[in-house]
Structures are given as C-alpha cells and as structure tokens.
Amino acid sequence: EAAYHKSVWRGVEAKLHLRRPNPSLFPSLVRRGIRRVQVLSLKRSLRDVIQGVPNLESLNMIGCFNLTDAWLNHAFVQDVHSLTELNLSMCKQITDNSLGRIAQHLQGLERLDLGGCTDVTNTGLHLIAWGLHNLRSLNLRSCRGVSDPGISHLAGINPNSAIGTLRLESLCLQDCQKLTDDALRFISIGLQDLRSLNLSFCASVTDAGLKHAARMARLRELNLRSCDNISDLGLAYLAEGGSRISTLDVSFCDKVGDQGLLHASQGLFQLRSLSLNACPVSDDGIGRVARSLGDLQTLHLGQCGRVTDKGLSLIADHLKQLRCIDLYGCTKITTVGLEKLMQLPNLGVLNLGLWQHQLHQQQSPPQQRHIR
C-alpha cells in the first residue's frame, strides 16, 4: 500500500508507450495521484489519456511525430480545466486546426510548447490569442510561417484580434525568420509582463527593434544569438533606453565588438549573465565590462580569438562575483591567465573545451571547481 501513497508520487511524470490496451494503466496512475504524463510513443488514441487521468495537469507529447490534428481533435472533445501544460514540440503534423481545438477546450493552459511545429501560422496565433488568456509561457521555435501580424494577435493590438495573451512572461521566437522590428514594437506595447524573450536566429530583427525592447520594463532575459543585423548600435539603444535586462546573449553577432561593450558598460548595470561567443571583442572591451559590471556571474567568451591573458587578468581583478566562464576556443590565452582566473573566490565552472587537458597537466585546480 505504501507504493500508492500520493505523497510518494507528488510531482512525478509518468512516461508511457501507448501501443496496446492496458486496462489497469490509468486507474493505477489515478490511484497514485499522478497528474503529469509524457507520451513516448503513440499507436492508440490520445483520448484514452485524457479520459483515463481526469485531473491531468501536464501532457508532454514531445517528438510524437505521428500525432495528427485528427487524433488531437478526437482527444479534446470537451473542456479540460485541470490541464495547465501542453508540450507539442516536434509534433510536425500539428497545424492551426489543432490550435483551434486547444483554444476552445484548454483555456486553463499556462505553458504551451509548439517548437518545431512548422505548419503553425498567424491564423494559429489568432486562435491562441482568442482562447488562451492564461498563458504564461509560449514556445514558437522554428514556426517559420509566423510573421509580424501573428505577434500583433498575441499582443492584442491587431484590429481583428481578441484580447491576446497579455499575461505572457516567456516567449520564444527562435528561428521565426519572417519576424521584423515590427514584432518587437507589438510586443513592447501589448506584452508588458514579458520577462524572457528569445529572438535568436531572427535575421530580420535590427538595431532599431532594440529601441522597443529597451522600453519593456519587466524584461530580464534577451536572447539575440545569431541575429546578423544586431550591432554595437543596438546595445547603445538598450543601454540608453534604460533596459534592466540581467541576461543578454549576443553570441555570433559579428557586428558586436568593443564599442558595443562600451555602451553596455555605461548603461546595462543589471547584467548578471553576458554571452559573447564568437563576437569580435578584445581585451579593451572586456576591460570596460569588467570595471563597470562588477556583479556579473556568468560570462561566455567562447571562440573570442582576440581575448588574451590581459583580458583574463582584468576579469580576475574586477569580476569577483563570477561563477561561470566559457573560454572554449580562445587560442591566445595561456596558463598564466588561467591561473589568475582560478583565484576568483566564487568561480565554480570554467569551460576550456580543447584546453582542458593542458590545464590539468600544468596545475591541479582547487577543490570544488568544475573544469570542463
């Protein structure tokens, strides 16, 4: 009987292969109080899960490639008030048709993951804006049919829109390549609770769009990784606009250099994590950051080939709160600079990639350091 105590199973996610009938499966889950389910493979009706676990809170269908609109529509034929999380990531046959059914019957959803659902379009976002007003987190990674008007639906400012998903706190738009600066404008107007925004690989977003991002008072995390049209000027707009972001990723933005770091050092005083992988920054830019942003805890400099031991020395002298640093592929650093870094009192993770073996040969790191 102890195996059925609900306290033992609280928060557990059952991982199921739905291949053949099993009459005892769902009663067993209910008896244990399990309300979170991941479907690993699907050869039967999804409706069995919905009916078999009446208080289902989380349904994870990630990678169920054979899930279709027809199966999903068959599963959700009435309101499921308990369901707050739905993950359809990489369910590539799902289209806007499914989103209509979800918006109608799953209006308590707080987290929806549609990453890799490449057939989702602006129509689907209109349906989400119409029905899912409680959404806190939405992942639209690689939904390449989505464009600026779709974002205006979410923000509730399209003339033809419903209320919108105005409670969103996290929005992932990675690799939504049709988006432009207008999308950022819509977001800044309508999604005022947003704390995390991922625009990585959105090549049509430019520096001008960051003027809008800077106005977002609650935004704390901004991912601009591989946004080819972001430059030093964009960081100037963020800094001058009073942005309070604490996490910024401009990795692989080859137009972000020392001048951009100067701007950041003059205005982005809330930064705790900064990712500059493969950016053309040098010791000069690193020095400006180190002297002004003393509360940095995470710094990614992988493949920054212009950074030398001088830059590491500046980091060691000024960034006493640093916990994690990535120096993979920094070919101009030596053990002299690394030894200086290792004196940082809070450093817990030092990623050297190909340099790892050489470091271990020449010194034994202090205990409780994680060298990768």
Output the pLDDT for position 354.
56
Q: What is the CATH number of domain 234-372?
A: 3.80.10.10
Sign of CA dihedral 95, 97, 101, 104: positive
pLDDT tens digits, the chain, 372 residues: what are they?
A: 556 677 778 889 999 988 887 888 889 899 899 999 999 988 877 898 999 999 999 999 999 999 999 999 999 999 999 999 999 999 999 999 999 999 999 999 999 999 999 999 999 999 999 999 999 999 999 999 999 999 999 999 977 767 899 999 999 999 999 999 999 999 999 999 999 999 999 999 999 999 999 999 999 999 999 999 999 999 999 999 999 999 999 999 999 999 999 999 999 999 999 999 999 999 999 999 999 999 999 999 999 999 999 999 999 999 999 999 999 999 999 999 999 999 999 999 999 985 443 333 344 444 345 666
User: Residues with Cβ < 8 Å from 333, sequence gap 6 or more?
Assistant: 307, 308, 309, 312, 327, 355
User: Residues with Cβ < 8 Å from 67, sequence gap 6 or more?
Assistant: 42, 46, 61, 88, 91, 93, 94
Q: Where in the chain is the domain with CATH 3.80.10.10?
A: 63-205, 234-372
Rounded to whole angstroms, how far apart are CA atoms 318 and 307? Answer: 16
Rounded to whole angstroms, how far apart are CA atoms 84 and 274? Answer: 32
Output the pLDDT for position 43.
81
Q: What are phi and psi of 275, to 5 degrees?
A: -115, 120
CATH of 63-205, one of 2.20.28.10, 2.60.40.10, 3.80.10.10, 3.40.50.11810: 3.80.10.10
Output the pLDDT for position 22.
81
Rounded to whole angstroms, how far apart are CA atoms 262 and 144? Answer: 35
pTM, 2 dp: 0.92
User: Residues with Cβ < 8 Å from 10, sequence gap 6 or more?
Assistant: 33
**One-character DSSP codes across 122-187:** HHHHHHHHHH-TT--EEE-TT-TB--HHHHHHHHT-STT--S--TT--EEE-TT-TT--HHHHHHH
Output the pLDDT for position 360.
39
Which SS3 state, helix, strand or coil, does residue 213 take?
helix
Return the DSSP state at 48.
H
